[in-house]
Structure 1
Amino acid sequence: MNTGLRITAFAAALTAAFGTAYGVGKGVGPTGTPERAEHSGHSARGGTPGRGGDGHGGHQEAAQASAPGGLQVSDAGYTLSLDTRQVGPGPAELRFSVKDRDGRNVTAYRTEHGKELHFIVASRDLTVYRHLHPVRAADGTWSTPVDLPAAGGYKAFADFTPAAAGAKGITLGADLSVPGPYAPAPMPPATGTAEVEGYRVALGGTLDPGKAGELRLTVSKDGKPVTDLEPYLGAYGHLVALRDGDLAYLHVHPNQGGPGPDVSFTATPPSPGTYRLFLDFQHEGKVRTAAFTVRAGGSPGATATADPGTASSAPAGEPGGHAH
């Protein structure tokens, strides 16, 4: 069905379209009626997993921010300050802070999706993706281990809501580099499924620029639907989308439903173009990431793909695609 899948972009490094058997841009498969929209660059919070809750329901804002999230290092009086601007390749530690308009470290945040701040690192060619969970010191300095495997340009995204009265969700982005010889990898082709450690994730929906729509991802293993997905960050699925070229960032959470096999999202792509989608899901104590290439507003033949090299997995709490 032609439900306009809406993926709102977030930042110059960190947001959509799909369907091999279904076709993308104009339809990726049968979907339901969109029930929620995500704020550009940051999602609304509150509730229970799979029921429009804990950050993916309630008062989700209907999307059109003046600019996609993550494209700016400073916004609304807050600045992402990277103490570590160059690392690796290999294991390293990132340190950073969020500063207010007076240059002071922010030390009070609202807890959203179980964390005060969500931190994403992605390569400029969108072949490396890390969803990290840094630790905040009392002085407002954040730190997290990271393992970036290859030289090149990267972008770091901080997704948070300050505790200050009236503050709204913000996604800031800053450049990060790994020195060494570098040649950008080509964008993986688009298909409608991703294979990750024996799991198959099928992507369905429609991606029309400027229109809200539903994206549905269906998880199976060994040919059988997975109906016991485990909550991860308060939800049965966690989605980040990045726009090719400027890495505009979109971070959304499920609309509703139980623990699988379907996880659905409502999103709005801000423009035509190619996006990379990164779906985190947890099963049997492990977080895995399925990666897709999608095109919003493309030809009916455009489809979504998984890239096995990018779709990393790691036990919850360990570095890799995810780290706490």
Structure 2
Amino acid sequence: MNTAVKVGAFGAGIVLAFGAAFGVGHAVGPIGSDPAPAHGGHGADADARGGAQAPGVTGVKPAAAEAPGGLQVSERGYTLAAPAEPLPVGTRTDFRFRVLGPDGRPWTRYDRAHEQDLHLIVARRDLSGFQHVHPTLGPDGTWSVPLTFATAGTYRVFADFTPTGDPGGPLTLGADVVVAGSYEPAALPAPTRTATVDGYTVTLAGDLSATGSSALTLNVSKDGRPVTDLQPYLGAYGHLVALRQGDLAYLHVHPQGAPGDGKTPAGPGIGFHAQAPSAGNYRLYLDFRHEGTVRTAEFTVAVGAATTAQAPPVAPTSSPAPEAEHGEHAH
């Protein structure tokens, strides 16, 4: 049905249901905590500042063995306090939020992971409008970043971070925010092996699975020629985010190898190992940098029972490293 829906009038109510009203953030205590982490992460066996898991170490649990990240506004005593008021559409906005610690106060101490203290992922509930940005932390514990929401609707924001001193390791919290205006939901694009962005073609090889970790390789070309001089972005040649259709369960995977390690080529292939938390349809977003600009290639993939007919896999241009050496971090 293509009936436009007005979202502005009830925007505050939706977000308040998550208990994350920014304006009263100082008075909001932890909404709840779980007895165990609800997602895998960089983990004690991973280098939280470089992103590469130590060779031979397999201590990080597969993503599907745990609840995926981003489904809760509060976890382990930390709460994502996002704006409750409707946000403007099509206008550059100073997006501000806080992470409240177990004592209810704004948390200000973070371990740097992949060159940033916090990664903010934004996507509309229909999986369009993806953004991956890095806010600035103020002395009062308020994060801020300029954002433009191109279309109206309900968006999910994910705060991906590692609180300093917390033995639980990395954490991903999620909350809904509303952008006022007439909302026309977009259909999820059909599964595909090829995506184009700004003259680049990115081809996906391999199949995302919910039954075990699988190898995925994304090959980048431009004007029909393989790109072999990708530039590091956040300490890697690419970053891959997957969101599950429906609840927007969050999976963030970092590639195998690292720039400058003497064995990882700068393209055209970017290799990953990943496991989906369940069968279903997923939207994949690959961030890569070339000629000084970060671009995002987007794919729809169907996992398990949701799988539909797809083109045969394209052979990887560069072979993935053994899984024990990869830099996977599933959140």
Superposition TM-score tier, normalisation by shorter sequence: 0.7 to 0.9
TM-score where L is the length of structure 1: 0.76
Deviations 1:22-66 (A, max 9, x none): xxxxxxxxxxxxxxxxx946445428xxxxx82142256132453
1:54 to 43, 46, 50: 50
Contact 1:190 1:303 in 2 (8 A): no
Alignment partners' CA distance in 1, 2:85 and 2:239? 27
Deviations 1:113-154 (A, max 9, x none): 000000011000011101111000112110011001111110
Shift of 1:171: 0.3
Shift of 1:86: 2.5
Alignment partners' CA distance in 1, 2:250 and 2:177? 16
Who wins on radius of gyration, i.e. which is larger? 2
Residue in structure 1 matched with residue 13 of structure 2 by the alignment: none
Residue in structure 2 matched with residue 139 of structure 1 by the alignment: 140
Contact 2:192 2:311 in 1 (8 A): yes
Alignment partners' CA distance in 2, 1:274 and 1:216? 19
Alignment partners' CA distance in 1, 2:307 and 2:163? 41
Letter aligned with residue 286 of structure 2 = L
Shift of 1:87: 1.1
Contact 2:39 2:171 in 1 (8 A): no
Residue in structure 2 matched with residue 182 of structure 1 by the alignment: 183
CA distance 1:95–1:65, shift in 2 (3 Å): farther
Alignment partners' CA distance in 2, 1:162 and 1:65? 23
Alignment partners' CA distance in 2, 1:246 and 1:299? 18
Alignment partners' CA distance in 1, 2:150 and 2:40? 27
Alignment partners' CA distance in 2, 1:54 and 1:120? 20
Contact 1:42 1:169 in 2 (8 A): yes
Q: Which structure 2 segments of 5+ residues have no match?
A: 1-37, 258-263, 313-331
Alignment partners' CA distance in 2, 1:209 and 1:54? 27
Residue 296 of structure 1 pairs with residue 303 of structure 2: yes
Q: Which structure 1 segments of 5+ residues have no match?
A: 1-38, 48-52, 305-324
Q: Report sequence identity in percent.
A: 50
Residue in structure 2 matched with residue 280 of structure 1 by the alignment: 287
Alignment partners' CA distance in 2, 1:274 and 1:43? 25
Q: Which has the higher contact order (CA 8 A, sep 6+)?
A: 1
Contact 2:42 2:169 in 1 (8 A): no
Alignment partners' CA distance in 2, 1:258 and 1:85? 46
Residue 109 of structure 1 pairs with residue 110 of structure 2: yes
Alignment partners' CA distance in 1, 2:111 and 2:226? 35
Residue in structure 2 matched with residue 203 of structure 1 by the alignment: 204
CA RMSD of aligned residues (A): 1.9
Residue in structure 1 matched with residue 67 of structure 2 by the alignment: 67
Shift of 1:226: 0.7
Shift of 1:206: 1.6
Shift of 1:218: 0.4
Alignment partners' CA distance in 2, 1:54 and 1:85? 37
Shift of 1:299: 3.8
Counterpart mapping for 1:187-266 below 5 A: 187-256=188-257, 257-266=264-273
Contact 1:41 1:249 in 2 (8 A): no
Deviations 1:71-124 (A, max 9, x none): 000011111111455212021111111111210111110000000000011000
Counterpart mapping for 1:11-160 below 5 A: 40=39, 42-44=41-43, 45-46=46-47, 54-58=50-54, 59=57, 61-63=60-62, 64-83=64-83, 85-90=85-90, 91-160=92-161
3-state DSSP class of the match of 2:207? strand
Letter aligned with residue 269 of structure 1 = A
Structure with bigger helix share is 2
Deviations 1:220-245 (A, max 9, x none): 11111111100000100011100000
Residue in structure 2 matched with residue 19 of structure 1 by the alignment: none
TM-score where L is the length of structure 2: 0.75
Contact 2:40 2:66 in 1 (8 A): no
Residue in structure 2 matched with residue 270 of structure 1 by the alignment: 277
Contact 1:43 1:251 in 2 (8 A): no
Alignment partners' CA distance in 1, 2:189 and 2:72? 27
Contact 2:80 2:173 in 1 (8 A): yes
Shift of 1:67: 1.3
Shift of 1:201: 0.4
CA distance 1:267–1:203, shift in 2 (3 Å): same
CA distance 1:176–1:81, shift in 2 (3 Å): same
Letter aligned with residue 203 of structure 2 = A
Shift of 1:165: 4.4
CA distance 1:129–1:141, shift in 2 (3 Å): same
